[in-house]
Structure 1
């Protein structure tokens, strides 16, 4: 059967169109989606690339394999400028990953005052708890982040929140601290913020008793002056 010249040309045209359409719909091997670009840019702290990914349609709440959002990645690595871009785009500071960390909660671990202030305009939930049942204040007390404790207390976060271990921020500062100057300052800040100096741990041991058992004389003196027994 003979095929006319017009028919042959038409078939070629249809084939070319199909090929072009396939190329348009199927990304080249190795290329990254806008969401993947956003996760990478946030993790690396590239604020410009974060903007580009968002402009290209990336979802602010996209997740990686551990369910970390771009804002959580930026916060954990203390990439403040990248976080500000994401906050301005409406990113959720309370989205939690597989370990129940959120962008706001991890600031208590890193102790970054700059990141704390970058996230506050997003309206973080101050009552949100991590996998240990603690609010952001508690790990900051444990790790001796004096400046962070001072700033986060200004937000109205609950100073006497009790975590799953039965500890408040004050108890964490005593039990897990070493009694040195940073922990003394944190204890003073907590007392000034109205912490209950006689709120005992899950075994009934008070902050003062814990301080005395660890020979933390300066902290014990601070607690006695505040009415601890």
Structure 2
């Protein structure tokens, strides 16, 4: 983690500055957990899978169709609450996803960590799988994760600009506030690095009409947060958006 604890001998101003830096770094590190909390099947879990979970992980479409015809439970859960659709999404087995949905599998279920397939694909920056899920009717509007976030917030956090574009077009809520009191626009600033990927992400959100006046728990708007971090291009984007 960046940011050192204040050392003895520093003046009052330096101590205060060091404390603020350390607390901000701690908060940012903790706030990265929403994306990191996703847990795909381990190698051991995958090896132990049977039935539809095994077929989904391997992309065995013929087996999926046979099991579906035999009335297997299309929404069966593994030990972490993952359905075969979740497993196929983690494994990027797009033919398996399509076969499961065509057979009647529910497309918007949450696993134990409260992630749906859309958020799983979004965090993985898997644009092709996300495109398929959305074309099959998956929702971009669900509240997901222990942080009461959305796929859009998770993607904005990570600077997955192409994913953000897809989710915005699919009607993802631009101004959803998670339980950290952050929107997608705020996360693009406070959890981004100010670089091209997060700039492109923020540009999409601004152009889509995200509310730039919503504030974090400390009363800061995205513009104030970008200024405090010296993110010049983000400041320009937010000032232009504010002027509209």
Measured against aligned partners, the alpha-carbon deviations of 1:120-147 in whole angstroms (never above 9, x if no partner) come to 2443343321221111111111111111
Classify 1:121/1:181 alpha carbon distance in 2 versus 1 (closer, same or farther; 3 Å): closer
- Please say if 1:50 is aligned against 2:73: no
Q: Is the 8 A contact 1:37 1:53 kept in 2?
A: yes
| Residues 79-228 of structure 1 aligned to structure 2 (within 5 Å) | 79-130=93-144, 131-227=146-242
Measured against aligned partners, the alpha-carbon deviations of 1:136-171 in whole angstroms (never above 9, x if no partner) come to 111111111111111111111111111111111111
1:172 and 1:47 map into 2 onto residues whose CA distance is 38
Q: Is the 8 A contact 1:71 1:103 kept in 2?
A: yes
Q: 2:92 aligns with which of 78, 86, 100?
A: 78
2:110 and 2:103 map into 1 onto residues whose CA distance is 18
SS at match of 1:226: helix
Q: Is the 8 A contact 2:156 2:187 kept in 1?
A: yes
Unpaired segments ≥5 residues, structure 1: 1-34
Q: Is the 8 A contact 2:125 2:163 kept in 1?
A: yes
1:52 and 1:86 map into 2 onto residues whose CA distance is 11
Which ranges of 4 or more aligned residues in structure 1 deviate by more than 6 Å? none
Measured against aligned partners, the alpha-carbon deviations of 1:153-208 in whole angstroms (never above 9, x if no partner) come to 11111111111111111111101010111111111100111011221112111101
Which structure is larger by alpha-carbon Rg, 1 or 2? 1
Normalising by the residue count of structure 1, what TM-score does the alignment of the two structures yield?
0.79
1:39 and 1:224 map into 2 onto residues whose CA distance is 49
- Please say if 1:37 is aligned against 2:44: no
2:77 and 2:177 map into 1 onto residues whose CA distance is 30
Unpaired segments ≥5 residues, structure 2: 1-48
How far does residue 88 in structure 1 lie from its aligned partner after superposition? 0.9
